[in-house]
Structure formats: structure tokens, C-alpha cells
Structure 1
Amino acid sequence: MPLKIIKLFPAETAISVVPTISRFFYETKENTAGGATLQIDVSEFLDDTGEDAAEFPKLNLNNSYFNVFINGVLQMEDNFAYTSGGKGIGNLMIIVPEGSEIPPDISIILEVINYDPLLKTEKE
């Protein structure tokens, strides 16, 4: 058998990044003073449709993040702890720094963004 060149089949690779965005809304009921922690259970939030939230989404490892807005202002990341899950498990904890407070009737918005990278391979 004569020698021949083995040629790889040409292919093109494309990655598509698909975000899934979930938003949750809460209005404070009482004052939370500096040095305290405000824990809000998932069932106290409303979802984007105005219904009671049933579950917080899991964060995809290395492909997700969450934002917290208090009274419409994006807050610093280190003041929060997010736990995904349903009633009794899922919650958002806000650590209120000394010298700050969260008064009653203030809106808190939790925004969770998960990315699902999809790898497509197309043959030429």
C-alpha cells in the first residue's frame, strides 16, 4: 500500500452564550439598622410576573453572578450572601454595614444571571 497524507476533516467551532436572567422583588417592612443582617426568604419575594417566588435559581459554576439593588441603586458585592433553593432554603442575606440602615418601604431587587455556553460544531 502506498503512503498517503491523512487529512483532518475541516470543522468550524462556534460558542453561543445564552443568558438566563431571573429577577426578584421585595419591599422592606421595618427598619434594619447598621450592624444587623436582614434575611429575606425566597417566599417573601415576587418574581418577574408578580407571583410569589417559589425558588431561587442555582448559580452555574464560573458562568453566573447576582446583583442586588436597594432603592434602585446597585450595591457592593461583599454585603450579601445568596442561597439558592425553594421555601425554607433559598434566601438573600443583607449585611448592613455600621453607619448605614435600610428603612421600611424600600424596594430590594435581586437579579440572578446564569450563562449557558453552547458549543456548536459545523462540518464544512
Structure 2
Amino acid sequence: MVLQLMKLAIEASTTTAIDPESEKYFYVTEAEVTPGTSLDIDAADFFDNTGTAVVELPELITDNSYYNVSVNGVLQMQGLTTYTPGATGVGSLEIDVPADSDAIIVGTPVVLEILAFDPTSTTEVIT
């Protein structure tokens, strides 16, 4: 018998569902934030889509979530913000206002959006 390469004859297909989830938190500034300072918003100062006070800001899932911050409807650069998950006194959002920018005036809306992904995969193997 002649030598031959022996291999498995298998087919497989994988289906992955991303299932994104978005949570939005809102805040309206109560005082002017001057250039060169920062706006610190505690978790309890935010309210959700229903107008209910927020109790805790969620953890970010490593490699499967991120956050966006908009001030007066304008998406902000990630380097200007610091997000800390947790409850009142721990959870917060800090927005640095650069020294060469304009102030954030009283009554300015701030929107924090948390996007998280819960991917699931199924693989079908046919032999």
C-alpha cells in the first residue's frame, strides 16, 4: 500500500450574536465650570431615561464595553473624561475643561452613554 496523508473530514460553521446594550445617564450642570477646572459628577447626580435617580454606575466589561460623553449634544474626546464605576461617593464621571476652551455654562446637559456587548457564539460541527 502506498503511503498517504490521512485527515479528518469535518465541516464547521460558527454563528456569533453581538447583542449590544446601551444605557444612558443624564445630568444638567448646576454651576458654571470654568476653563482649567473639572466637572465632577457623582453617580447619584445622574438620572436615567425614565427620570429616576441613578444609584450606581455600572462596571465596564473588559474588551466588551466603552463609554461616550456628550456635553450640550457634542461628543467629547475620551482623554478629557475619567469614568469610575460604583455607587454614590465612589461612582463618578469627571470632565476636564481645558484651559484654552470655553466654560461649561449653567444648565448644560451632559449625557453619559455606556455601551456593552454580550457576544454569544454557537458552532455546528458536521462529521
Matched residue, 1:75: 76
Mapped partners of 1:75, 1:28: distance in 2 = 16
Mapped partners of 2:47, 2:116: distance in 1 = 19
* Aligned residue identity for 1:121: T
SS at match of 1:32: coil
Gaps of 5+ in 2: 1-5
SS at match of 1:78: helix
Matched residue, 1:114: 116
Gaps of 5+ in 1: none
Matched residue, 2:65: 64
* Aligned residue identity for 2:49: D
- Identity across matched positions, percent: 37
When the two chains are superposed, the root-mean-square deviation of aligned CA atoms in Å is: 1.5
Mapped partners of 1:39, 1:8: distance in 2 = 60
Per the normalisation by structure 1, the TM-score is 0.89
In the TM superposition, 1:95-114 aligns within 5 A as 95-99=96-100, 100-114=102-116
Relative to total residues, which structure has the larger strand share, 1 or 2? 1
CA deviations 1:6-30 (Å, max 9, x no partner) are 7455332111111111100000000
- State the 1:89 CA deviation: 1.1
Mapped partners of 2:9, 2:121: distance in 1 = 20
Matched residue, 2:3: none
Q: Which runs of 4+ in 1 moved over 2 A?
A: 5-11
Matched residue, 2:35: 34
